[in-house]
Amino acid sequence: MQALVGILAVTFPFFALVLCGYLAARSRLLPLDAVAGLNMFVLYFALPCMLFRFGGTTPAAQLFHPVIALLWLAVAATVVAATAGWARRHGARWPDAAMGALVAAFPNSGFMGVPLILALLGPGAVGPVMATLLVDLAVTTSLCIGLSQWGAAGEHGPAKAVASALRGVLRNPMPWSILLGALSGIWGLTPWAPLGKTVQLLADAASPVALFTIGAVLARSRMRPAAAADGAAPPRDVAVLVAAKLLLHPLLVWGMGLLAVRAGALTAPALASLVLVAALPAASNVSLLAERFGADNGRVARVILWSTALAFFSFSAAVAWLR
């Protein structure tokens, strides 16, 4: 019982901040038009500074660990193939199958994973988390965007979609922040003191504002008419994707990672970090991609909402199991 209380003492505040953001937007205390501004602050200011700081203090061997990258990519490909194949067999269009696969394979490692797993496991766990984030941003997202346009003709085909996804990766500040932080650590560069203090202030704001923003984004997706107009996805469909995210994904990481540990290619603490990343809820930005590439955004938003709500219990259980 004491161990459970200790786990909840760490996990509860993170999910409570998500709930605060949800309630603030749902009650209109936070105007829905302000949610985009919060999201931009986190994505382009606070989170890049936090990732830059961690990138500079994390050994490069952890950030660019080939075994972690290959393991994470193999699991992501398995989840994508299983969920997209299941959706196609049940009559889903390619955009819906692909975005459903992405929401099942892409955890909320940027906004939630880095600060939460740091609080649970310490600084040594940050490297594997950011390594998985690089893989998901550069490869998993591009793969699913390409699948979403499979069978489309002309300029909207998969090749164009993948090229568009790669351009999006290049414009995303998160991988660049990690890479620049890693380079600064390798070369021993220290920012000018006033600039370093500014980076520190923004980095310290990243966790609470990001978590609050996740809740606000979830509330907005439920309240906007566009989300509701997409039509209700069958409950079984949403339940399958939520189960794939919260159960299948971490179990696959644990199973494949255990083989790597026994082969001496991966350490047990690194595997624990990876399992907890996989146990996180679905990334909230998948909803934006679903809307952009013609998928049922309401369906994806429901998966994100339910995976976030249920992750409070499933993630805490995963922490207790790993300990």
Which pLDDT score is estimated for 110? Answer: 86
Domain boundaries, the chain: 2-322
Distance (Å, whole) CA 133 – CA 8? 25
1.20.1530.20, 3.40.1190.20, 1.10.15.40, 3.20.20.70: CATH of 2-322: 1.20.1530.20
pLDDT tens digits for range 184-220: 988 888 888 899 999 999 999 999 999 999 999 889 8
Return the pLDDT at 272. 96
Contacts of 108 (CB under 8 A, 6+ apart): 214, 280, 281, 282, 283, 284, 308
Q: Tell me what the pLDDT averaged over the chain comes to.
A: 88
- Asked whether residue 234 carries a pLDDT value surpassing 70, the answer given is no
* Gap between the Cα atoms of 200 and 54, Å rounded: 11
- Which pair of structure tokens corresponds to residue 253? 């990481």
Cα(274)–Cα(269) distance, integer angstroms: 9
- What is the identity of the amino acid at 139? V
Residue 112 predicted with pLDDT over 60: yes
Tell me, what's the pLDDT at 200?
A: 93
